[in-house]
Amino acid sequence: MIKIFDLTDVISIKDFQKKDIQYILKKAENLEKVAKSEEYSDELAGKILGMMFFEPSTRTRLSFETGMKRLGGSCVGFDGSVASSVSKGENLADTSKMFEAYSDALVIRHDLEGVAKFISDIVDVPVINAGDGAGQHPTQTLLDIYTIKRRFDKIKDLNIALVGDLKYGRTVHSLAYALGMFDVQMSFVAPDELKMPKETLHDLEKDNVKFYQTNNLKDVIDDVDVLYVTRIQKERFPDEEEYSKIKGAYLINHHLIKGKDLIVMHPLPRVGEISTDVDNTKYNKYFEQAFYGVPVRMAILKNIIKNKI
Amino acid sequence: MIKIFDLTDVISIKDFQKKDIQYILKKAENLEKVAKSEEYSDELAGKILGMMFFEPSTRTRLSFETGMKRLGGSCVGFDGSVASSVSKGENLADTSKMFEAYSDALVIRHDLEGVAKFISDIVDVPVINAGDGAGQHPTQTLLDIYTIKRRFDKIKDLNIALVGDLKYGRTVHSLAYALGMFDVQMSFVAPDELKMPKETLHDLEKDNVKFYQTNNLKDVIDDVDVLYVTRIQKERFPDEEEYSKIKGAYLINHHLIKGKDLIVMHPLPRVGEISTDVDNTKYNKYFEQAFYGVPVRMAILKNIIKNKI
Amino acid sequence: MIKIFDLTDVISIKDFQKKDIQYILKKAENLEKVAKSEEYSDELAGKILGMMFFEPSTRTRLSFETGMKRLGGSCVGFDGSVASSVSKGENLADTSKMFEAYSDALVIRHDLEGVAKFISDIVDVPVINAGDGAGQHPTQTLLDIYTIKRRFDKIKDLNIALVGDLKYGRTVHSLAYALGMFDVQMSFVAPDELKMPKETLHDLEKDNVKFYQTNNLKDVIDDVDVLYVTRIQKERFPDEEEYSKIKGAYLINHHLIKGKDLIVMHPLPRVGEISTDVDNTKYNKYFEQAFYGVPVRMAILKNIIKNKI
């Protein structure tokens, strides 16, 4: 029996218990028709979402906006383009108090870890962290898990491989943590330079989460249900040649996965990690995954924006 | 008897049959009161228009937004300012699939010919071309024709002069093509350097469309019902002097048209082609023309956005 | 008995009679619940506010947008970021006629004095001046007065000190003028370089408004009900040292006001004029003041946007 979701802010996936995640997954499913405009809702009519995007993020921003508008609400704010940024010289606290005065909830994107938490401590409206630097991006994790749930109708007992840059990738740390609650087998596939950090592994071990590490995609490709691919950034490597070699070794293309029983996911944007010859196959779940950002964020918005009438 | 409009995308005016144009003209007229907020509509409540403006275009963008919002709908996207553009490095197809996931229809503005068509082939939502480089801008053509229809209550049997840069002007090529369906007399008034391209003339001849060419505005000024003026860009000329001479010869001012029975149109923005002494005269139809972008685009939006409820 | 508000444009606070101000104060109070989304309204559903922000102003822009959206309306336009600005080369009149065609009212922010008035003379929709350079910003003045009214339940018989840059500060000139209608005692506290201009003082004297001038905050601090603080800009001083000295002398901190019976206001953004140790005290009214921009602007919008249905 799923209880009521009682988080007032959505700052870190670590604030979520398993029941909270399950609650959001359930609610998101109910909202899919609204997200596709196959059903009409004006549940958030008159409500305003404050968009504080200190750095750009098209997919995250647009899916929050679409989610809010599909529920009849509106958005105000700035979009992270250099030119749109806030009043020169104003401190973050004052800017946040301003948004608090004009909104029913805030979505914050910032390149510094901890900013969303800082803001949630000084405003009285709910705050959603839409990515704070190397920190957290909890709604991305929720939509990732939702994508898996929608495909397999369960999360438990799946073999999920996280592939690519597991060292710096904010997304994969949160995802590994959250999947750890669901009794899955995880495989971490990364070049030696970009392995999952020891702290993350240690946390998983403490929680008795099973995982396997390798730098060779071939080791796991026959057994996995999910290939979760992330971007490998050029800047992480000392020279171009090393980067090209690694990139080639982790490229997902149709040839590699043909005949296997798996899905391919990616938080997007991709820059060459998945060949376009996967796009029109049954393996491709990354476009659907992007769509699922809408119902998942709608579920969050519906639950944290208070009805004060 | 006007049949149902059955285009799913609006890419090129060449996809329109005469009956399609007539259908939009009729529907636009019915929507004028809503466009002026003299009547209320929420027919597109809950619907979202994705705005993919890869280059700026204030008039086109705002009239689409106003049209969508007058019908109760919402917009998401980017506006073509450098800073607002999409995620670095993401390919156009992936960006389009993202917008497909978040919208009920897409409006695309791009500086490369063929982009709107390319996108319409890979997404399942309707696509409207809002200008693709040297290519097409079909809703501009529709609002141009609508302006003529509203003034004369017919299009047939009018003498319509297209004036200015007829070589590079995207607008005039589409307009000439579309007017060709309506049994009008066309005059093409341009300096020798900027004459209507041979291919366009050839197409018109094939369809038995009557036209007359001149480089002298005086040749036609006494006979025309419509002076459709376009911008002559400095960059088209090797030297400043030549440009100034040409610009002067094609300047429309009150003195030139006083006492004649004609209207002056311009897709706007103008940069000196029409003197401001025409603004407060009965000849000025260019401001109304800009307004007509709203009901015409509303008619398009209403007809291509599917009701899935 | 308050009469109907009959201004069609909101250009200058000098166009307001006392009864007009009282009318807006009254109406704003009725709208506070809607501004906080404790009550629902769709009174401006289908209406569109054109936002012509030629320079950025986050607080003013967002509070107009929030106000419009809380009433069910929508906004279109540009936000003053360099990149978002209008079509290259188009004159202001043509841009304004475009916005007239797409909106039910216009909000204009420009760095040149007189622009809002100029535009209001050429368009047929209501125009609101949201700040024109050194000129007027009437809705700021209205929300300032509203803040005082909400705290003291009157304006009359209060002692109100305007502090800081009284020479260049657009806000304080309008506020002094408007407060002059309400039988208050005003104190003007400024360094000698930044004193209230002679013309403003002369206007007040003509209207028999009582005021007192000093460059020493201590002279008034025991007697005032309101400390209205404004920014002192570095650029106003020949050297850094002089600036630092002045800034220090006018800094409002908790120590200075502790035990007094007064409120601190500021149009925001502040850049160091008020110490953050005032933020969590009863003296702080500047955050509420920012919120009051919403109901006050809603009252204006409701009254100038014509119902044409």
Q: What is the ipTM of this complex?
A: 0.95
Work out the minimum CA distance from A69 to partner chain B, whole angstroms: 7
Instruction: Check whether A88 is labelled as a binding-site residue.
Output: yes
- pLDDT at position B1 is 38
d(CA C173, CA C89): 34
Q: Which H or E run contains C291?
A: helix C286-304
Inter-chain contact A62–B77, Cβ cutoff 8 Å? yes
Q: Which H or E run contains C174?
A: helix C170-179
Please say whether the beta carbons of B37 and C309 come within 8 A.
yes
Inter-chain contact B77–A63, Cβ cutoff 8 Å? no
Inter-chain contact B98–A62, Cβ cutoff 8 Å? yes
B136 interface with C at CB cutoff 8 Å: no
pLDDT of B30 over the 90 cut: yes
Instruction: Check whether A60 is labelled as a binding-site residue.
Output: yes
Structure tokens that stand for A79 in this block: 């979009």
Work out the minimum CA distance from B307 to partner chain A, whole angstroms: 8
- pLDDT at position A2 is 43
Which residues 38-77 of chain C have a CB within 8 Å of chain B? 45-48, 74, 76-77
- % pLDDT > 90, chain B: 82
Please say whether the beta carbons of C31 and A70 come within 8 A.
no
Q: What is the pLDDT of residues B64-111, one digit of tens each?
A: 999 999 999 999 999 887 555 555 678 999 999 999 999 999 999 999
Tokens 């953050």 sit on residue: C276
The residue among C228, C238, C239, C252 whose CA lies nearest residue C165 is C228
- % pLDDT > 70, chain C: 96
Range list for CATH 3.40.50.1370 in chain A: 13-136+291-304, 139-289
The residue among A102, A65, B70 whose CA lies nearest residue C45 is B70
Chain C positions in Cβ-Cβ contact with residue A83 (cut-off 8 Å): 81-84
Please say whether the beta carbons of B49 and B107 come within 8 A.
yes
Chain C positions in Cβ-Cβ contact with residue B81 (cut-off 8 Å): 81, 83-84
pLDDT of A115 over the 90 cut: yes
d(CA C286, CA C206): 31
Cα-Cα-Cα-Cα dihedral sign, residues B93, A169, A5, A29: positive
CB atoms within 10 A of CB A84: 23
What is the separation of C-alpha A123 from the centre of its chain, rounded to a whole number of angstroms?
A: 24
- % pLDDT > 90, chain C: 82
Structure tokens that stand for B63 in this block: 């009239």
Inter-chain contact B103–A66, Cβ cutoff 8 Å? yes
Q: How large is the average pLDDT for residues C251-269?
A: 97
d(CA A274, CA A262): 14
Length reported for chain A: 309
Range list for CATH 3.40.50.1370 in chain C: 13-136+291-304, 139-290
Inter-chain contact A37–B101, Cβ cutoff 8 Å? no
At A128 the three-state DSSP class reads strand
The topology under which CATH files domain C139-290 is Rossmann fold (3.40.50)
pLDDT of C129 over the 60 cut: yes
Q: Does domain A139-289 have CATH number 3.40.50.1370?
A: yes
Q: What is the pLDDT of residues B219-252, one digit of tens each?
A: 999 999 999 999 988 888 888 888 888 888 899 9
Binding residue positions of C for L-aspartate: 88, 170, 231
pLDDT of A235 over the 70 cut: yes
Q: How large is the average pLDDT for residues A90-99?
A: 94
At C212 the three-state DSSP class reads strand
Q: What is the pLDDT of residues A256-306, one digit of tens each?
A: 999 999 999 999 999 889 999 999 999 999 999 999 999 999 999 999 998
Inter-chain contact B70–C103, Cβ cutoff 8 Å? no
Q: Least CB-CB distance to A102: which of C39, C63, C84?
A: C63
The residue among B249, B262, B266 whose CA lies nearest residue B190 is B249
**Reduced 3-state DSSP string for chain B:** CCCCCCCCCECCHHHCCHHHHHHHHHHHHHHHHHHCCCCCCCCCCCCEEEEEECCCCHHHHHHHHHHHHHCCCEEEEECCCHHHCCCCCCCHHHHHHHHHHHCCEEEEEECCCCHHHHHHHHCCCCEEEEEECCCCCHHHHHHHHHHHHHHHCCCCCCEEEEECCCCCCHHHHHHHHHHHHHCCEEEEECCHHHCCCHHHHHHHHHCCCEEEEECCHHHCCCCCCEEEECCCCHHHCCCHHHHHHHHHHCCECHHHHCCCCCEEECCCCCCCCECHHHCCCCCECHHHHHHHHHHHHHHHHHHHCCCCC
Chain B positions in Cβ-Cβ contact with residue C308 (cut-off 8 Å): 36-38
Chain A positions in Cβ-Cβ contact with residue C275 (cut-off 8 Å): none
- Name the closest residue on chain B to residue A78, using Cα atoms: B84
Burial tier of A122 (Cβ tally within 10 Å: 0-12, 13-18, 19+): middle
Cα-Cα-Cα-Cα dihedral sign, residues B216, B217, B222, B228: positive
- pLDDT at position C271 is 87
Asked if the peptide bond before residue A126 counts as cis, ω within 30 degrees of 0, the response is no
Q: What is the pLDDT of residues B183-192, one digit of tens each?
A: 999 999 999 9
Phi/psi at B76 (5° precision): -135, 160
Inter-chain contact B42–C47, Cβ cutoff 8 Å? no
Inter-chain contact C58–A81, Cβ cutoff 8 Å? no
Cα-Cα-Cα-Cα dihedral sign, residues B86, B92, B98, B103: positive
- pLDDT at position B2 is 44
pLDDT of C87 over the 70 cut: no
Q: What is the pLDDT of residues C172-229, one digit of tens each?
A: 999 999 999 999 999 999 999 999 999 999 999 998 999 999 999 999 999 999 999 9
- pLDDT at position A1 is 39
**Reduced 3-state DSSP string for A177-242:** HHHHHHCCEEEEECCHHHCCCHHHHHHHHHCCCEEEEECCHHHCCCCCCEEEECCCCHHHCCCHHH
pLDDT of C40 over the 60 cut: yes
d(CA C219, CA A260): 83
Q: How confident is the model at residue C56 (pLDDT cuts 50, 70, 90)?
A: confident
Instruction: Check whether A173 is labelled as a binding-site residue.
Output: no
Work out the minimum CA distance from C291 to partner chain A, whole angstroms: 5
Work out the minimum CA distance from B56 to partner chain C, whole angstroms: 8
- Name the closest residue on chain A to residue B48, using Cα atoms: A66
d(CA B203, CA B73): 39
- Return the top range by mean pLDDT from A268-277, C237-246, C284-293: C284-293
Please say whether the beta carbons of A265 and A140 come within 8 A.
no
Q: How confident is the model at residue B271 (pLDDT cuts 50, 70, 90)?
A: confident
A289 interface with B at CB cutoff 8 Å: no
CA distances from A237 to A162, A171, A232 (A): 20, 20, 10
Contacts B–C by Cβ distance under 8 A: 82
Q: What is the pLDDT of residues B272-281, one digit of tens each?
A: 899 999 999 9
- Name the closest residue on chain A to residue C60, using Cα atoms: A98
Q: Does domain B13-137+292-304 have CATH number 3.40.50.1370?
A: yes
- pLDDT at position C80 is 82
Inter-chain contact A62–B48, Cβ cutoff 8 Å? no
Q: How large is the average pLDDT for residues C249-268?
A: 96
Range list for CATH 3.40.50.1370 in chain B: 13-137+292-304, 139-290
Phi/psi at A263 (5° precision): -120, 155
CATH level 2 (architecture), domain C13-136+291-304: 3-Layer(aba) Sandwich (3.40)
Asked if the peptide bond before residue C267 counts as cis, ω within 30 degrees of 0, the response is no
The residue among C302, C309, C308, C294 whose CA lies nearest residue C146 is C294
- End-to-end alpha carbon distance in chain A: 29
pLDDT of A200 over the 50 cut: yes
Q: How large is the average pLDDT for residues A117-145?
A: 96
